[in-house]
Structure 1
C-alpha cells in the first residue's frame, strides 16, 4: 500500500538532505573537476526551478541523452524533484532506436550532454520534442545551466507522489518495439537496501559504465551515504585501474566481461587496489572459473547481485559466499533477499521443489509497475502479483538461487536442450580460454545449432577441435558446438553485456555467404 503522499519524500530529497550535512565534502569527480555536496545540491534546486519555468513538471517525461557527467546526475535529480519521470537513453543505440524511444515515452524535454549535440539533431529530426535543453552552451536548443544560474538555490519541496512513475528504463530497443519498464517513486526507495551495508569507512565509488544502468542506482546509494562518486566517461581497464589507485576507490560495479578485462590487464599486476571494499558484479551470467580468478586477484571483496529492471533486486552472493573452497557457490546467484519471495515454476504454473529447473518467479515491493503503454505484455509477465522473469533457474536446499539460462537463449536441439551458461562455464574452465559466448543459430533446414565464440588467452594454441572434444567428453555430444569461432574480444552492449544478437547476426551472415 502506498504511503500518504503529503508525508512522502522522494529519494532525491533524502539524498539532498544527506548531502546538506557536509556541504564542503567532494560529492562528484569528473576529469579532475571536483563538485562539492553543497554545489551539487544547489545545482539540483536551480535546475528544478528552471525546468518548472520551461513547463516541465509532475507527470511529464524528461529524456536524457547524456554521458557520465555530474550535471547528468543533477538533471535526473531535478526532473524527479519536480515530479517528472526520467528516461535515460543508452548512448550506443542507433539514432533511429533512440528516436523511437523519445517518441514512445512522450518526451516533454530532451536534456543533452554537449558532447552529443550532433546525435541530438539526428534524434529530434526524427522525433521532434517541445524543448531541447543542453548542459552547457551549444548551437542546439537552450543552455539549461544558464537557465539554472538565474534561479534560486533555496530548497524546493518534491512534487512527486508515491505512485507516480519515477523512471522508464528500456530493455532491448535494437530491434522491434522496445520495452519501457516503469518504476514508481515509492519503489525506487526500496532499491537502497539491496546490497549489504559496509559501515566504518567512507565510500568512494568509481563509475565506469553508463549512469543509465546499474551504476546510476549505486551512485545514488553512495551519495545518500555521504560518499564520493568518481565518474569515468566509459570503461577502459587501464584508466579504471589508475583511478582505483589514485582516488582510493572502495566501491566498483562491473558487468562480468568488464571485470575480466580489468583483472587481465597488465597494469593489474602492479596497481594498488587495496582500497577496494566492495567489487560488485552482475547484469549477466558470470563464469565461476573467472570469478575465482578475480577473488585471487582482488581479494575477498566480490559481491554478486542478481535482479532485473522489472524485478528490482532478487538475491545476493556475499563476500563470504565467494569461498574458493566451494566452487559450486560461485555458480549461484546467492541467497534471496529478506523482503523478496522467489518460487520456481514449470510451464503449467506448478511450483517446483528444490533442485528442479523452471522459470524464476518473483514477488516483492520492487517489482515494476508495468511496461510503458504495453498492457498486454505487462499482463504476460505480471500475473497475480508474481513477475515471471524469463530466467530458468533452481533453488537448492540451503536457499541459494542458481540461474541456468534465459528461456529465450536456451537452445533446443535434437534430443533435448542446451543451457548456454552451462556450456560457457565449461569452455571458460579451459586454461587457454578467457571468455566465451554461446548462442543458437538456425541452419538452412531451420534446425537450431549450437555456436560458440571464444576469446583465447593471448599466445595460446587452442583450437576448435580440442574444445569440441572437451565438451563431448564432459557434457556429451548434445552440447558439442557445431561451430566455434575465435575473437580478440566479444562485442558488448551499451550496458556491458555480451551482445549475442550481434554474434548471432554475424554467424547467420557467415552461413548465408558460405552456404
Structure 2
C-alpha cells in the first residue's frame, strides 16, 4: 500500500475529472499527476535521495497537495511543518529530522528566511507562490517547468512516509514516524465505514493540511477518487461561500470551527444543500454545539473520529445513526474503527471491567513505527503491539468508548494539542516565576483553555499579560496561558508532586 497509488488509478479511469479546485484555478487528474511527477523530478535534481526528509511550511493550496504526493513519488519522506509553532520550535524539528529541503509559501517568506539562517543543514529552500523571495531561493513553478517527470518510486508498505512532530510531556516535540501502510490503513478503515467519504464527492480542505486529521481525510478522499476543494485556512464566511460555489459534499472541521460556522451572521443566507457528510474530531464537542449542528443540518450525516498522531490518527469512529439516537452514546468517541482494536486497561495492561475508567490502548496496522531517534520514548508507549494513548476512558457493553480525561495532562484547545510541561518550562524561564502549574479549563469557544497557576518569587512582580507575552516568545501563541492565577503556594502531595486535580477544582470553583 502506498500514498501515490490513487493517482495511477485516477489517470487510468478518470483523467479529466477535477482533481483540485483552489480558488478560480482547477486542475484535472491528468494535470495534477503531471505536476506531481515533475516536482518529484525537480526534487531528485536537487539531490534528494531515498528516505531523505522534505519539509513544507505553508497554508492550504493545490501546491501543498502536490507536495504531499511528489515527495513519496521521489522516494522521500514528508515533514509537514506546523505553521502555528514558534520559530524556535520549527527550527528544532527541522534540525532533529535532518531536513535538507524546505518548501515555503508566500505567507511564510520572512519566517523562512529566519529559519534558514538557523538551520545550517538546509541545502535548498523552494519558494511556492508569486510574491517576492530571496534571490538564492528556488522558484517552485520554474523548478517544475525545468524538470522532467520521473517514474513513481512507489515507496510503500512499512517504508517511512512521514514525520509528524507532536508536543511531548518533557517539553520537547517528538517526531512520530508513520509508514505508508499506517496512513493507508487508517484511511481505508475510515472509508470502509461508508460514512466517511461521498462517492464522486468534493471534499473541502479548511483544516490545516499540516495536521494529520486533514491528511487522513486527504488520503481517504484520494482513494475514493474525489475532488479536493481548497481554501487557504479556516474562515467561516469563506467556507460557506466555497461550499455554495463549488457544491462541496464533504467537510471536516474541529468543534471550534463548527461553532464559528453556525454562529456566522450569514450562515442562513447560503445554499448548503450539496453537503452530504460532515466529519469532526481533534477535540471534545460541547453538547450545545452538537445539538445545534444536528438541527441545522438535518439531512447531513455526522461522523466523529477519536485518535492521536501515533495512530495515523484514527482509533474509533462515531457513526451518523448514533449521533441522532438521542442517547448518551452520541457524546461518546464511538467504537473501534474497522482497522483498529481498542481496549481500556489498568496499569498492568489488564482489561478494566465495563464502565470502569482505565487507560485507552489501541492496536492494528495504524500504530506508528515509533518516535524518531527516541527508542526509550517509543518503548514507553508501545508495549506488545499496543499503543498506550495516555488518555483515560471506559467502554460500555456495546464497545462504545467514553473519553473522560487525559492522563498526560494534555490540553486540547481549538483542536491543537498543548502539553502542560512545555508551557510550564516556558513560564519558569521568566525571572519573576518561582513555581507554576498549567492545567486545562473548560472554554465555551475553544473547548479548553490553557490556564496557569503561578507563585512569584519574593519581592518580584509580574502581570498575566507579561507572562503571556513571555511564553509567546518561546512557544506558539495558542500555547500561551489565556488565564493566570497568582497564589502564595501550590498544593503538593506527600511525595512532593503538584496536585493538579485540586488546582482544577479550585479554579473552577472560583470561576476563573
**Alignment partner of 1:152: what SS?**
coil
Q: Does 1:72 align with 2:97?
A: no
Cα gap change, 1:434/1:76 in structure 2, threshold over 3 Å: closer, same or farther?
closer
Contact 2:284 2:447 in 1 (8 A): no
Partner of 2:355: 355
**Alignment partner of 2:64: what SS?**
helix
Partner of 2:224: 225
**Alignment partner of 1:87: what SS?**
strand
Q: 2:18 aligned to 20, 26, 30, which one?
A: 26
RCO greater where, 1 or 2, for CA within 8 Å and sep 6 or more?
Answer: 2
1:129-166 deviations in Å (ceiling 9; x for gaps): 0121222563241123212212334x613252522210
Q: Does 1:101 align with 2:93?
A: yes
Partner of 1:320: 321
Q: Distance in 1 between matches of 2:486 and 2:277?
A: 42
Partner of 1:168: 163
Question: What does 1:7-46 correspond to in 2, within 5 Å?
Answer: 10-46=2-38
Aligned CA RMSD, in angstroms, stands at 2.9
**Alignment partner of 1:368: what SS?**
coil
**Alignment partner of 1:163: what SS?**
coil
Q: 2:203 aligned to 202, 205, 210, which one?
A: 205
More moved, 292-301 vs 85-94: 292-301
Cα gap change, 1:334/1:100 in structure 2, threshold over 3 Å: closer, same or farther?
same
Cα gap change, 1:209/1:338 in structure 2, threshold over 3 Å: closer, same or farther?
closer
Partner of 1:184: 179
Partner of 1:400: 400
Q: Distance in 2 between matches of 1:200 and 1:77?
A: 22
1:97-130 deviations in Å (ceiling 9; x for gaps): 1111111100021112233221110111111301
Contact 1:354 1:396 in 2 (8 A): yes
Contact 1:182 1:372 in 2 (8 A): yes
1:341-377 deviations in Å (ceiling 9; x for gaps): 1111123333201100011011111000001111111
Q: Does 1:121 align with 2:113?
A: yes
Contact 2:454 2:486 in 1 (8 A): no
Question: What does 1:385-464 correspond to in 2, within 5 Å?
Answer: 385-409=385-409, 424=442, 437=448, 441-442=452-453, 444=455
Q: Distance in 2 between matches of 1:410 and 1:165?
A: 27
Q: Distance in 2 between matches of 1:275 and 1:161?
A: 35
Structure 2: unaligned runs, 5 residues or longer: 412-438, 458-471, 490-512
Partner of 1:246: 245
Q: Distance in 1 between matches of 2:86 and 2:68?
A: 22
**Alignment partner of 1:51: what SS?**
helix
1:15-70 deviations in Å (ceiling 9; x for gaps): 34324422222211112111221111000011111111111021101011122111
Cα gap change, 1:192/1:122 in structure 2, threshold over 3 Å: closer, same or farther?
same
Contact 1:10 1:158 in 2 (8 A): no
Q: Distance in 2 between matches of 1:186 and 1:398?
A: 29
1:162-182 deviations in Å (ceiling 9; x for gaps): 222100001127993211100
Partner of 1:130: 123
Contact 1:409 1:439 in 2 (8 A): no
TM-fit CA distance, 1:288: 2.5
Partner of 1:298: 297
Partner of 2:79: 87
Q: 2:481 aligned to 503, 508, 511, which one?
A: 503
Cα gap change, 1:305/1:203 in structure 2, threshold over 3 Å: closer, same or farther?
same
Q: Distance in 2 between matches of 1:246 and 1:136?
A: 24
Give the TM-score, by structure 2 length: 0.79
Q: Distance in 1 between matches of 2:188 and 2:340?
A: 12
Question: What does 1:237-316 correspond to in 2, within 5 Å?
Answer: 237-299=236-298, 300-312=300-312, 313-316=314-317
Cα gap change, 1:227/1:338 in structure 2, threshold over 3 Å: closer, same or farther?
closer
Q: Distance in 2 between matches of 1:406 and 1:147?
A: 46
Cα gap change, 1:440/1:65 in structure 2, threshold over 3 Å: closer, same or farther?
closer
Q: Distance in 2 between matches of 1:145 and 1:508?
A: 51
**Alignment partner of 2:30: what SS?**
helix
Partner of 1:110: 102
Contact 1:97 1:173 in 2 (8 A): no
1:216-274 deviations in Å (ceiling 9; x for gaps): 22123223322211111111111111111111111110011111111111222232222
Partner of 1:144: 140
Give the TM-score, by structure 1 length: 0.78
Contact 2:206 2:231 in 1 (8 A): yes
Contact 2:254 2:281 in 1 (8 A): yes
